[in-house]
Amino acid sequence: MVQAKSWVLVKHFDGFPKDSDFAIKVEELPEPKDGEVLLEAIFLSVDPYMRLFSKMHMKEGDVMIGTQLAKVIQSKNSAFPVGSHVVTSCGWTTHSISDGKELTPVMADWPEDVSLSLALGAIGMPGLTGLYGIEEVLGLKEGETLLVNAAAGAVGSVVGQIAKIKGCKVVGSAGSEAKVAFLKELGFDEAFNYKTITSLEEALRKASPDGYHCFFDNVGGDFSNVALEQMKHFGRVALCGSISVYNDSFPQTGIFPHTTINHKELKIQGFWDTQWKHKDGESLKRLMAWCKQGKLQCREHVTKGFENMPAAFMGMLRGDNIGKAIVAV
């Protein structure tokens, strides 16, 4: 018998999450039946969508939603032998039983010198999101200027680096001096700390006086409204997320951007990476190749200990992470 520890949502978040919203539950798992496997979490992901979708898809008492990199420790399913690794969306739990249907094996020939945790980051969902946002949504072309916010995070850091690979000028914003230094290290042409500037409008204009062909928006809210004003005519926007409003209990009010969008004839597309799932295999190989060639730095912010899942999650929402926020069990 194996004991599974899980973090449950005790109370729906009201504003910014707090420790008392979470509690640990322990349960004994049965032996896997024919066709099933027993999984042990190695790395768990904490992502912004968990804050947003907890309200839509969870009830109080449910295990927190989420994805992990797990090892098969018992198997009665020949497709997933003992010792193999999978990505699974079984939530914030140390052990789980699966019939294999929802499991994604990690890419074949995963190099030994590359941490498997990257399957939750730059060579996983956030990396794919950056790649698809650039190629499928924006159709970013050589010589164009791209703006990305939350640029030092999991998605943003990949976006900026791919845009540089494609021969573009890249401007990034992030919430600390250490993050700005990181962006410069990654090759961003311009980077600024949005928390310390006196005017976002001025900072954006200074970074690219001629405006922006493309905007990869992770933040939403006021930032987006100001940035839209500085798009070039026929500019394209990949609306990836809007983390600045995820913790709001009531909708924010702000300026209405519709006249700007119409006047500049902007194209704005909301998207999820899952739209291009059929391309994931090839796309992950490309991300891995860039990583091995040193063209894609895959920085992580690792929190040790399953007991620290809520702290890691809240830290990511607060902006503690440079690169992908991960928990190592």
Ligand X SMILES: CCCCCC(=O)/C=C/[C@@H]1[C@@H](C/C=C\CCCC(=O)O)[C@@H](O)C[C@H]1O
Ligand Y SMILES: NC(=O)C1=CN([C@@H]2O[C@H](COP(=O)(O)OP(=O)(O)OC[C@H]3O[C@@H](n4cnc5c(N)ncnc54)[C@H](OP(=O)(O)O)[C@@H]3O)[C@@H](O)[C@H]2O)C=CC1
Binding site for ligand X (CB under 6 A): 48-49, 52-53, 56-57, 125, 241, 272-274
Residues in Cβ contact with 56 at an 8 Å cutoff, skipping those fewer than 6 apart: none
Q: How far is the CB of 30 from ligand Y (least distance, A)?
A: 34
Neighbours of 233 (CB within 10 A): 10
Cβ closer to ligand X: 46 or 203? 46
**Rounded Cα gap, residues 228 and 263, in angstroms:** 11
CB 318 within 8 A of CB 106: no
Select from ligand X, ligand Y, none the partner in contact with residue 126, using the beta carbon and a kind-dependent cut-off of 5 to 8 Å.
ligand Y
Cβ closer to ligand Y: 32 or 48? 48
Chain positions contacting ligand Y, by CB under 6 A: 47-49, 126, 129, 150, 152-156, 174-176, 179, 218-219, 240-244, 271-273, 316-317, 319, 321, 325
CB 149 within 8 A of CB 228: no
Chain-centroid distance, C-alpha 307: 22
**Rounded Cα gap, residues 205 and 17, in angstroms:** 35
Q: How far is the CB of 55 from ligand X (least distance, A)?
A: 11
Select from ligand X, ligand Y, none the partner in contact with residue 105, using the beta carbon and a kind-dependent cut-off of 5 to 8 Å.
none
Q: How far is the CB of 328 from ligand X (least distance, A)?
A: 21
Q: How far is the CB of 15 from ligand X (least distance, A)?
A: 18
C-alpha to C-alpha distances, 188 to 75, 242, 288, nearest whole angstrom: 46, 22, 21
Q: How far is the CB of 240 from ligand X (least distance, A)?
A: 7
Select from ligand X, ligand Y, none the partner in contact with residue 53, using the beta carbon and a kind-dependent cut-off of 5 to 8 Å.
ligand X
**In this chain, which residue has its C-beta nearest to ligand X?**
49
Cβ closer to ligand Y: 77 or 149? 149
First-to-last CA distance in the chain?
Answer: 20
**Rounded Cα gap, residues 97 and 40, in angstroms:** 9
Neighbours of 30 (CB within 10 A): 10
Cβ closer to ligand X: 53 or 234? 53
**Nearest 5°: phi and psi at 194?**
-70, -15
Select from ligand Y, ligand X, none the partner in contact with residue 6, using the beta carbon and a kind-dependent cut-off of 5 to 8 Å.
none
204: amino acid identity, one letter: L
Q: How far is the CB of 82 from ligand X (least distance, A)?
A: 28
Cβ closer to ligand X: 6 or 67? 67
CB 68 within 8 A of CB 43: yes
**Rounded Cα gap, residues 76 and 275, in angstroms:** 32
Cβ closer to ligand X: 51 or 85? 51
Q: How far is the CB of 50 from ligand X (least distance, A)?
A: 8
Cβ closer to ligand X: 146 or 243? 243
